[in-house]
Amino acid sequence: GLCQQAAFMLSAARVDQCPVDDGLEVAFAGRSNAGKSSALNTLTHANLARTSKTPGRTQLLNFFRLDDRCRLVDLPGYGYAKVPIPLKQHWQHHLEAYLGSRRSLAGVVLLMDIRHPLTDFDRMMLDWADASGMPMHILLTKADKLAFGAAKNALLKVRREIHKGWGEGMSIQLFSAPKRQGVEEAHDVLARWLGL
Ligand code: GDP
């Protein structure tokens, strides 16, 4: 199935270290601890992204190869409490350079903890996607932390807020790594963006 052959390619500390900018890739973004590593592992059936990370590692863009043409990209998690300000500026500079220049970028998956949605970082990413016309799909992660009805309500509330603030173009779903909830829905989006 989709993503099953995913394999680590390389880590890039700067945009000029990224793989050749052809084919298509989908990037995963989110505040630190939003569940990005867990989601990547769940969606690829692989231990691609280590769930325990060090501040140093979070400064890297990690590329995973799906096939000759397609890649997934783990963008550095934002907001790591232990990262000093100069590192944060470094991070922002390279993230902006990547997002602003990458021609093969077909879409961005934004992960938000269902209990803490729409952080400043999330709003910045939504503004950027809106302004640049980049397709964006949102995973409300850790949906298993809420009861079914509460998770549904949170989904409706955040979806309404996003459609009001950033237009109808952005899609949003519930996701849980341990329950494997929302895997098929997320795969459908990746397949569409990557032409798989
Ligand atoms: P990252 O910093 O965004 O890569 O976040 P991680 O994937 O490392 O997850 C941060 C913490 O949240 C870890 O303790 C995970 O086990 C936990 N976590 C991640 N996804 C889920 C989820 O869907 N459900 C639950 N209950 N916990 C999760």
Residue nearest (by alpha carbon) to ligand 1 atom 20? 35
Q: Which domains does the chain have, with CATH numbers?
A: 7-194 (3.40.50.300)
Q: Say if ligand 1 is within 6 A of residue 77 CB.
A: yes
Q: Say if ligand 1 is within 6 A of residue 183 CB.
A: no
Q: What is the pTM of this model?
A: 0.93
What integer pLDDT is reported at residue 89 of this predicted model? 73
Q: Which amino acid is at 126?
A: L
Tell me the pLDDT band of 182, cut-offs 50, 70 and 90.
very high
Cα-based distances in Å from 106 to 18, 27, 71:
16, 8, 10
Asked whether the beta carbons of 45 and 91 are under 8 A apart, the reply is no
On the 0-12 / 13-18 / 19+ scale of CB atoms within 10 A, 12 is middle
pLDDT tens figures, 37-84: 999 999 998 777 654 455 545 567 899 999 999 999 999 877 655 566
